[in-house]
Amino acid sequence: MNKPIAIIVLMWLIFSMHCKNDKFPSAPEAVLEEKKQFIDLKWRKEKSVDISEMTDSAFLHITPGNLYVFGYSLKQSDRQLLKKYNTDLDLCFEKIFTTGEGPGDLGGGSYFFFFGDKLYVPDNTQRRINIFDKELNFIKFIKTSAAFLSPTFIKDGSFFIAYRAEEDDNRRVSFHLDLVSFPGLDIKRIHTIGPSVTYDHNKKFIVGAIPEFHYFYKNEKIYLINMMSYQIMMFDLSGKMLKQIRVDVEKKTVPSEKKMEWLNEQSRLKDRVTLTDIIQPAGWMAPLGKGFVVIRRHTYNTACEGLVEGDYFDYDLHLLGKVQFPCFYRIYYLLRANFPRSVAYENGYVYIINQDLKEVDEDINLEKWSVTE
């Protein structure tokens, strides 16, 4: 074997070992008709606390008996705050992290998750995972070769789910949902959405052109939604697709004047983005006790107040009917699958981060809602 070919073969072997992509046959797709009747989920707001000292990028993580809110400080842009609450929304403690490159410092775009008695904070700016003890003292970091977005530890902590975004030379974007071993960080691909064209001929980013997606982990199953096609897939922890459904819904088109109205509202973006003609009908998934809700999207408007419409599924992917769900921040957010992470469920209660649009300063609140399914 000549030297150039040997090098190519070696590189292929190394990549194959790092990113396994075992092929499972796709499950047959079942097409479901949209159901119009409403199921009465009983909602009651129990408590609300002001977290306006954080920016609107704050997000939630829940562990048994505790709730954590993490985000940038509104007054000190180089600081990130982690607040711990009990499930009655009483503040237990808070910690300030410095944005930087030193030990225990965090970069931008950080998520976090708990497993066992340790806190893990992926730092995709510096390609590492910071590890803290239960008192939030820094222990060490693990270097990574990839940016792992929205990671979720599962099973016994030996691997986690995350997604990664890749852009090719033509600026087409693909999203990969991966199983990642820990601490080895070997990647096994579960599913890919894309590639999708992201810019028009005027080099404007096309909002709505990328099939937005979302996933969650429940009962040792991984649920993934393609919001453009309204397709929901269920995988086991080997990456095998167990079931997939697609909900047949009416396509909503947007008149040109409504597009311009929305773009004018987004003053920071209007010269850099444009819109598709058809709205992606499905939105974020919100797991509950007996099933989960898919928030429905009907316009490009991102404002939300009170209770909004969603479709209610059981965990075997049977569509049960329509329900209402409390507004949470970024509930209609539509841009490159940047998960809002602003809703969580535990033992009959839904915890949300919400923005009070009635207040002059549009305060950010942490809310607790009881729900009866």
DSSP output for 156-187: TTTEEEEEEEEE-TT-EEEEEEEEEETTT--E
Which pLDDT value is given to residue 12? 33
The CATH number covering residue 78 comes to: 2.120.10
Q: Does a structural domain hold residue 92?
A: yes
- Residue 19 inside a domain? The answer is no
- Looking at residue 8, its pLDDT comes to 33
106-125 pLDDT, tens per residue? 876 556 777 778 888 888 77
pLDDT at 360 > cutoff 60: no
Instruction: List the one residue out of 177, 174, 176 whose CA is nearest residue 198.
Output: 174
The whole-number pLDDT of residue 340 equals 61
- Separation CA 262–CA 294 (nearest Å): 23
Q: Note whether residue 13 is domain-resident.
A: no
Show the domain range for 90.
28-372
- Domain for residue 12, yes or no? no
To the nearest whole percent, how much of the chain has pLDDT over 70?
85
In a domain, 2, yes or no: no
Q: Look at residue 349 and tell me if it is in a domain.
A: yes
Average of pLDDT values for 349-362? 75
Q: Does residue 42 belong to any structural domain of this protein?
A: yes
How many domains does the chain fold into?
1
308/263 Cα distance (integer angstroms): 23
In a domain, 18, yes or no: no
Which pLDDT tens digit goes with each residue over 175-216? 888 888 887 888 888 898 888 887 888 888 777 777 888 899
Distance separating alpha carbons of residues 245 and 239, to the nearest angstrom? 17
SS (H, E, C) 274-298: EECCECCCEEEEEECCCEEEEEECC
Q: How far apart are CA 80 and CA 55, in angstroms?
A: 10
Per residue in 55-96, pLDDT (tens digit) is 656 778 888 888 888 887 777 777 888 889 999 999 998 888
HSE-up of residue 299 (Cα within 13 Å, Cβ side): 15
| Whole-angstrom distance, CA of residue 367 vs CA of residue 346 | 13
Residue 42 has pLDDT above 80, yes or no: yes
pTM for the model stands at: 0.85
Three-class SS state of 240: coil
Phi, psi of 107 (to 5 degrees): -95, -165
